[in-house]
Structure 1
Amino acid sequence: MKKKLIIYQTFVRIFGNRNLTRKEFGTIAENGVGKMNDFTSETLKQIRDFGVNCIWFTGILRHATTTDYFRFGIPSQNPRVVKGRAGSPYAIVDYYDIDPDLAVDVSKRMQEFEALVKRTHEKGMMVAIDFVPNHVARQYKSIAKPDGVSDLGENDDCGKHFSAENNFYYCPGCALDLSDVPVEEYAQNSEPYEEFPARCTGNDRFDAHPGANDWFETVKLNYGVDYCDAGGRSNHFSPTPDTWRKMTDILLFWAQKGVDVFRCDMAEMVPTEFWQYAKQKVKQQFPEIIFVGEVYNPAQYRDYIAAGFDYLYDKVGMYDTLRDVICNHRPATDITFAWQQTDDIRSNMLYFLENHDEQRIASTFFANDPTKAIPAMLVAALLGPNPLMIYAGQEYGELGMDKEGFSGCDGRSTIFDYWALESIYRGYINRQHLVKTARNLGVIYKNILRIANRNIISEGLMYDLMYANPQSTHFDSRHLFTFMRRRDNETLLVVANFSDQIQEADIIIPAHAFDFLALPESDVTATDLLTSRKQTLRLRRDKSVSLTVHPHDGCVMKF
């Protein structure tokens, strides 16, 4: 029986941090840092009890940082090519190593990760980590690679802009020019960073002059695509490019460590041909491995699914639509259009309302109130069997309004700075100080996610009722979204209210719904799974049932 995948993204560096100093641009000594060991069996059980069956441990791989671990034999990075004191978890400096910030005993950081995997599996959850295939940190150097493995770029011909056997792209004869990149105050006394010849930058910047808005701290990996061919872009995939083999070996290395899910960063910047190659190699040995791709171009969704991805982010479609409906910028009827755009691949689309790239719901940049997203959570969690992701702190209404340092006050929780979040601290570490509103929100999330675990969500049929319920005095189709699910003899009628008003809704159930769902006409006693409230519903073809739906809330009527 297939279970709905419910992913809990957590940034390890922040999650377990008990230091609430939160000094802007603070060092690790000043602001502290969370550890892998903070995910105790009790904490993992608390996460699992929300209804989660997979934890995405963000920031596991060793990445560029200003923190010095040279005494442990770990190379240091120049702060001029590091974003923030802690550094970006997407500027990897060693694909085979664990971020030393996250270890209690730095010399045993891999063993601590292996123990984390074991604890997570023992609690019945899968482990997800990032696979960052498009780019690496400027000062990438593996000290943990297995014997016999050559490092990225080790055998490159630096005199060529492009070669299918090179791991990087080069600007022959040109030094890297970072003059357009501001230097933070704490880094101004550091040695200038020198790179000759310059390597091309991770966001497809193929010259030697990246700017402040580029991914200047990263280097683009070469998968055999010449982006600057005289005739335009050209592919060179035979013989198999060296980068393909090296990156596939990295996937296999972590699969052997017990990783169940790879969240593949900026997957659409890597050719589909590589993913076909890698998926075949990895799934041949680990057939249950799951690949989740960060792909933002809807025109490419089906290509990447065909290439081997199990799931893709539904950002441009469902996320953007739900966000606009929450903020009253679009009508709820647009949700129908959003799911229909990917109806043929809907089971492959991952829904979410928050992640590390997006603004927090409770921030003033988004909804300014975490409860406004409750109806959207009902839709995202219950509309179909496809995966759902929540971001640590979302369940307790994290504001995301801190001015942390490199990140600044932007409605997001930093991935660049040493920091702590009160929502997580109070939710998982010091629960006696969890305020009532946050506690209540957590209960609502738990209820919704537990409903999402039911077989009627992971299996069965869905029927969108919006076409039969046009805007009227008895149904506010701008602010209400309603659908049904049915499996065997069990039916759910879901109504989400995105408005700040109580809605007295008369919901028409068309004859076609009765036929499609094999639903008999009858009088039923329905129970709202969110409140346990019972109500008699008179089910008749092309007739309506009446429900009262509270502001920024919903009903999940089971019968």
Structure 2
Amino acid sequence: MRKQTIHGADDAVIQLSLTETALIITYRAPNLREGESVYLTLGTHRQIGSAVLPFDRNNEGSTVFLPFKSDLLLVAVVKDGKLDCYQRKWEHWKWSERTAASGCLAKFHNGTLTFNLQRAALSDSKSLDLVLYAKDLTENDAWGRLYGCSDKCAAAGWGDKYIPNYCEVNLDSTAAELSVPRSRLNANRSPLRIYQLFVRLFGNTNETRTPNGTLARNGVGKFNDINDAALKSLRKMGFTHIWLMGALQQASGTDYSSIGQPADDPDLLKGIAGSPYAIKDYFDVCPDYAAKPEKRLDEFKLLLKRIHKHEMKALIDFVPNHVARSYDSDVMPELNFGTRGNDGAGDDMSIFFSPQNNFFYLQPDGHGPPLRLPTCQDGQPVSPTCKAVAALRERRTGGTTSVSSQVLGQDRACPSECDGLFAGETTFGRATGNNIVSWTPAITDWYETAKLNYGFDFTGFSKNVREYPNALTPDKPIPDTWKKMDRVLEYWQAMGVDGFRCDMAHMVPPEFWNWAIAQARARQVDVVFIGEAYDNDPAKVPGVDPIISRLHGGRSNVMFDLLNAGFNAVYDDQTYRALKKIYEGPGWANDIDDARPDDFIFENSIRYAENHDEVRLAAKSQWAGVGKQASPAICAILYGLSRGPMMLYNGQEVGEPGKGLEGFGSNDARTSIFDYWSMPELVKWANGRRYDGGRLSPEQRQLRSFYSRLINLIGEPAFRYGVCIPLNGANRDNPNYGRLPNEQPSGHWLYSFLRHDLESSQTFLIVVNLNPWESLKNVRIVLPGPAAQSIGLNRVAPESRIRLTDRLAIDQPISVDTTASEARGAGAPIVDLPALTPIYFEMSI
């Protein structure tokens, strides 16, 4: 018999014993007594499962969110000397009703509860996932108080609870250990630190930068440009994952007819280079990025090998909501959309919606067909790209409007003129990517894309038809689009891609994600899924899971659906916007805590200060003109706030300003994703692709060095495993908490929080002055009772000395001494904080 003991929270002790026929689990908690309930939740891998457990007064109590997807919940209740055992199973896309457990042999004796689980009743899997905890349902109006969890990080208390870690039990007798601790989704308990690398721009050292310039004039980054020197430098900065943004083949104005890839109709283009989110072939990469375009996939595979050699992992885009109108895969033509929809028979274009169609088809009326794109009006170009093409032709031909592609071919420019029509949609039309059902989409629409059909009719709540497997209709067939998208994921996983950043994930039914991520993880257990998602988008598609739909009184957040589906993390735009409002008005630092969602979402959100959709920190027109100087303070908060991933956008580390008109990318404080361009500041770091920062200014070197220290620091235990304890709420009435004259309460410019890891006892106090102009004098940070208790100050003598040492500064790091009683009373005395200063104090008690 193999045995292992696990020490949980609140002095709970769990012993696992494995025989050839049974898994025996004994549970003892000091406060466990008759009348209380013990919950054993398992992931047996027989079903997709759910990370959100049922909630019910007097039974399961408040909601518990799990770090894995459970398909079996066992409840043992000792009452009046009798042991009752109940179960719920996740099947048919939902949790079953509570019933008496079958095959669950449990007993309670002398304060110890024992579960005897027959292995034959579990599954054929070589492992199962396990969390165990108790609840006292006499408290909190029968919603209960959770305590004694198998995860030490799960603090006792009332209300909804997120359990961040679990035990993976090895049922294979040859495994080295019976149980292995895991963090959410089988992770190795290390936060994802992601570098967003736009392949088109990252390695491009051409500094011509002509607005609307062609590839030949402005140049383009290549896969080979992401060389060993670049990857070594990024790994040294602390990054664990490289997001190769824009790697997939998109619609483009550059002509590769010689390899069977002609340029696209400019009416379909946003920028001559094209949008990286108008995918033309899900199974191919952009030929722009290859030294030999006909060998582009081979060069991409070599890049993946280089990334892995430097002990990092590679993410690529997965754009499920829409495709380029010109989508046509030559790698996998048998999986094309539309013509090979309906299980290969082709879409039925006579109807708007069918679950086996890949697209939504516009119905003929007085406005169409044909589809009329908003690129031309009265014969004149309207879109920036069509204007650029017309101007290019004017320059090349001296006013001649009819020009052969050969005349322009030497510069690989667009080979045709704009007319507002697309030859592929003259006899029919498809709904536009942003849910526009119109023969005449507007210039502000995603007119270059066609919306994909996942079996959900999005046209109004009265027509919210769900023709796919879900909790209400579990036996519906899998739609054709689901199957094709699974093949896309399978293809890239087989090539060595480690994960996917999923574009506009909230616009696709969460049931698809549940199914597709389960399929992907069956192939590669640790494959990463990052969801770009926004709960405030009216286009979001909530699921119909009866448990999740009832969260928050029926006002559930779509992020619950996506995280439950298996996403490693979802976007945290709320904290980003709360910080931006501090500078642009009318926000305060106190508002950061108001933006904090439920722990399940908070701890599994990816935080960023820039990405390709958001403005540059260093843009003079944004962040009140101080974003470049404020970036260390801003990112010290964002990157250190939770266990979730962080992301840095290429160029951010050297103060890329996103300045000027690039082409379709206007002077909008962003680096264009539509044009052939290079980043003027990042080029200085690239320094002829030596990636040694040889041309950076001292200020830029200092900024990049700061990011490197910060990103490496958040890999330490307090940030990897630890809880976040915000302190602004407890210091609002503290006049020494950075309060300036005529301010009430405190907390306008000062933000602070604790990060504490229970296992290692490592504790950090993060203190940030966000004020761009003034130092904050005589600052004191009060650690309130609950916070002090969480980090163990209640277990030391009042006069015990506490040393605070700054780990973030490289020159003359600050050290502060205080005592336990002072920290809890008047507050720990922090040195004067200069403007825009972040400090990461490690606490030694």
State the TM-score, normalized to the length of structure 1: 0.96
2:217 pairs with 26, 30, 41, which one?
A: 30
1:433 CA displacement: 1.7
Structure 2, unmatched stretches of 5+, are: 1-187, 341-345, 377-381, 391-400, 402-415, 469-475, 537-556, 739-746
Partner of 1:71: 258
Counterparts in 2 of 1:238-387, with a 5 A limit? 238-297=476-535, 299-315=557-573, 317-327=574-584, 329-339=586-596, 341-367=597-623, 368-369=625-626, 370-387=628-645
Query: Which has the larger displacement, 137-146 or 216-225?
Result: 137-146
Once the two structures are TM-superposed, the CA of residue 468 in structure 1 deviates from its matched residue by 1.9
Deviations 1:131-168 (A, max 9, x none): 0001010111001117x545543311222222111111
Opposite residue 486 of structure 1, the aligned amino acid is H
Q: Letter of the aligned partner of 1:163 in structure 2?
A: S
Comparing 183-192 and 369-378, the one that deviates more: 183-192
Counterpart in the other structure of 1:187? 389
Q: Which residue of 1 aligns with 2:413?
A: none
Shift of 1:326: 4.0
Question: Which residue of structure 2 aligns with residue 49 of structure 1?
Answer: 236
| TM-score normalised over the length of structure 2 | 0.64
Equivalent residues of 1:528, 1:534 under 8 A apart? yes
Mapped partners of 2:331, 2:594: distance in 1 = 48
Amino acid of the structure 1 residue aligned with 2:761? N
Which of 546, 549, 559 lines up with 2:829 in the alignment?
Answer: 546
Q: Which AA in structure 1 matches 2:841? A: M
Q: Which has the higher contact order (CA 8 A, sep 6+)?
A: 1
- Residues 421 and 229 from structure 1, CA distance in 2 versus in 1: closer, same or farther, beyond 3 angstroms? closer
What is the correspondence of 1:214-225 to structure 2 with a 5 Å cutoff? 214-225=445-456
In structure 2, the residue matched to 1:153 is: 339
Q: Which amino acid aligns with 1:320?
A: R
- Distance, in Å, in 2 between the alignment partners of 1:554 and 1:73 is 54
Shift of 1:486: 2.0
Where does residue 537 of structure 1 map in the other structure? 818
C-alpha separation in 2, matches of 1:209 and 1:244: 28
Cα distance in 1 for residues equivalent to 2:724 and 2:467: 44
Write the deviation string for residues 423-445 of structure 1: whole angstroms up to 9, x where unpaired: 21112335222112111111111
In the other structure, the counterpart of 2:698 is 436
Q: Which of 5, 15, 19 is residue 206 of structure 2 equivalent to?
A: 19
CA distance in 2: counterparts of 1:257 and 1:127, whole angstroms: 11
Q: Partner of 2:774 in structure 1? A: 501
> What's the offset of the Cα at 1:101?
0.6
Q: Alignment partner for residue 491 of structure 1, among 749, 758, 763? A: 763
What's the CA shift for 1:471? 5.0
Structure-2 separation of matches of 1:408 and 1:213: 14
Separation in structure 1 between the aligned mates of residue 559 and residue 721 of structure 2, nearest angstrom: 23
Query: What code does the residue aligned with 2:436 have?
Result: R
User: Within 2, Cα distance between the matches of 1:373 and 1:323?
Assistant: 11
Tell me the residue number matched to 1:395. Answer: 653
After TM superposition, give the deviation of residue 253 of structure 1 in Å: 0.6
8 Å CA contact 2:314, 2:497 repeated in 1: yes
Which amino acid in the other structure matches residue 230 of structure 2? T
Q: Report what 1:515 is aligned to.
A: 789
| Contact preservation (8 Å) 1:11, 1:58 | yes
In 1, the alpha carbon distance for the partners of 2:643 and 2:363 equals 50
Larger displacement relative to structure 2 (321-330 or 488-497): 321-330
Is the Cα–Cα contact under 8 Å of residues 205 and 686 in structure 2 kept in the other structure? no
Offset at residue 527 of structure 1 (A) = 1.6
In structure 2, how many angstroms separate the alpha carbons of the residues matched to 1:525 and 1:239?
A: 62
Instruction: Give distance in 2, aligned partners of 1:461 and 1:227.
Output: 39
Q: CA deviation at 1:180?
A: 6.0
Deviation at 1:228, TM superposition (A): 3.8
Alignment of 1:75-224 (within 5 A): 75-145=262-332, 149-154=335-340, 155-173=346-364, 174-179=369-374, 182-183=382-383, 184-188=386-390, 190-191=416-417, 192=419, 193-194=422-423, 195=425, 196-224=427-455
Maintained 8 Å contact 2:780/2:829:
yes
SS in 1 for 2:355: coil
Among all aligned residue pairs of Structure 1 and Structure 2, give the percentage whose two residues are the same amino acid.
Answer: 36
User: Which stretch shifts more, 518-527 or 236-245?
Assistant: 518-527
Q: In the alignment, residue 528 of structure 2 is paired with which amino acid?
A: I
Check 1:483–1:251 CA distance in 2 against 1; reply closer, same or farther (3 A cut): same
| SS at structure 2 position matched to 1:432 | coil
> CA separation of 1:396/1:150 partners in 2, compared to 1, >3 Å: closer, same or farther?
closer
Choose 455-464 or 221-230, whichever is displaced more. 221-230
Q: Which residue of 1 aligns with 2:4?
A: none
1:461 counterpart residue number = 723
Question: Is residue 479 from structure 1 mapped to residue 674 from structure 2 by the alignment?
Answer: no
**Offset of 1:517 from its aligned partner?**
1.6
Please tell me whether the aligned partners of residues 471 and 478 of structure 1 are also in contact (alpha carbons under 8 angstroms): no
Runs (4 or more) in structure 1 with deviation over 4 Å come to none
Kept after mapping to 2: 8 A contact 1:460/1:486:
yes
Aligned-partner residue type, residue 224 of structure 2:
N
Give the Cα separation in 1 of the matches to 2:570 and 2:446: 23
State the distance in 2 between where 1:355 and 1:74 align: 30
> What is aligned with 1:416?
674
Cα 1:179–1:337 change in 2 (3 A) is closer
Whether the aligned pair in 2 keeps the contact of 1:402 and 1:413 (CA below 8 Å) is: no
Q: Structure 2 CA distance, aligned partners of 1:204 and 1:133? A: 13
Distance 1:352 1:319 in 2: 7
Which AA in structure 1 matches 2:450? V
Summarize deviations over 1:254-289 as a string: whole Å, max 9, x none: 111111121000111111111111112111111111
Q: Secondary structure at the match of 1:543?
A: coil
Q: Deviations over 1:188-216 (max 9, x none)?
A: 46354231201111110112111100001
Larger mean CA deviation between 465-474 and 492-501 belongs to 465-474
Matched position secondary structure for 2:840: strand
- The equivalent of 1:524 in structure 2 is 802
Structure 1 pair 199–497 and aligned structure 2 pair: CA distance change class (3 A): same
3-state SS, counterpart of residue 530 of structure 2 = strand
Task: Using the TM superposition, give the Cα deviation of residue 77 of structure 1 relative to its aligned residue in structure 2, in angstroms.
Answer: 0.9
Deviations 1:499-535 (A, max 9, x none): 0211121111223222122133421332211223333
RMSD: 1.7
User: Aligned letter for 1:513?
Assistant: A
Residue pair 2:454, 2:482 contacting (<8 A) in 1 also: yes
Shift of the 551–328 alpha-carbon distance from structure 1 to 2, 3 Å rule, reads farther
User: Match for 2:594: what amino acid?
Assistant: F
Letter in 2 for 1:501: E
- Which deviates further from its counterpart, 164-173 or 38-47? 164-173
Moved more, 434-443 or 133-142: 434-443
Amino acid at match of 1:509: L
How many angstroms does 1:327 deviate by? 3.7
What are the ranges of 5 or more consecutive residues in structure 1 without an aligned counterpart? Answer: none
SS of residue paired to 1:503: coil
Change in 2 beyond 3 A, CA 1:462/1:226 = closer
State the alpha-carbon separation in 2 of the partners of residues 10 and 410 from structure 1.
20
Give the Å deviation of 1:328. Answer: 5.0
